[in-house]
Structure 1
């Protein structure tokens, strides 16, 4: 509460104490607070400020500039979080379903969008397989893949649904092939809310691996999202925005659905 530039993630909690870790690369020290004093010291937030500042730019380049591929379609969004991209998807698509595993984000999405959005609470690694193929015409996987310990499973599950198009946007700047990382716990979408153990690792896929995997899964036509023109106000610039701008983003199309070039603005 005293320093809004700092954040922690809860590691363990009981009726008496809450153990936490600082989300600061320069500090790996854990802490502990009295449960009774927790709310006077910490405020629960759903989105980091640098992510929130970048959202309008991401929304424009990933969604609004590609509205022609969403217009009138049934869309599935993976990891909708607080609905930053969902807002634009709803403006173009005929229907939108979102999978989200964070219960606070689920409540936020339902409160924010009401019956305009169908929200499925659950782990996307499992929930994707529960749909029948061809249920959705478009799948949006933005800001998700690099959080997963099982990114190839997610790619396979998306292809299993056989949508016409799949948008993949992921942070992988500086990765040529494959990198294993141990992220802050809050950054892993593999967590199961203590329902079962989590390995704690994520796999970051390089451009070539994503393209090769998608081609093998039947999505041979790729059109990259041009982020080079993306700009943000200097006072809102961040390491997150710069990494996003220099990372992978592309639309993949099934045979017969591939356009000749990018959609009109």
Structure 2
């Protein structure tokens, strides 16, 4: 299946050879091959102005490491010629934590420009001058933003129309209703003495739905009290079972 205006991901990185990487296989890779979405990995070093293709310098005020230069990164962003409707993201451990709701917003749009940080960070002036939205995928630090960018892209691509086999798959996943997903089972009926819960093979769809909801709530209360607190505060609506 092809579309006239595919969702686009433009990545600015010092290591364009890392892409598509995992994005070239499985659901994302199949959709990429079919033209459902497109990927462009651009080398930030192509915007360097000296013969050494320098992109970083020592931090102002001193300190360890190096900082990605504002002028080089700004030139890379400008050369990419991103239209105003496309979000400009910077993968950064100090950014706002990526959520499923933000993923849905990004998947519904034309696709983002994603800057992959390296070194000790990025000059603050280019973040402000090019209105980069800082995004984190968790409270830990990676060597660079490339793996984080792949995670964000994969999360978006799987929500594009036609990528997953069933639209219901996305609607019942973890975070789709501020809850973690309920436990899943399949054959064999018995595994090392453990049975599939009887209710799941009862054929009573209402009871199955109620069991799944209860399990999702119990898991969320146990493992993610922060999500459970937000779920409890959210306005209640009629739940489709």
TM-score bracket for this pair, using the shorter chain length: under 0.3
Report the structure, 1 or 2, having the larger helix content: 2
Report the structure, 1 or 2, having the larger strand content: 1
TM-score normalized by structure 2?
A: 0.26
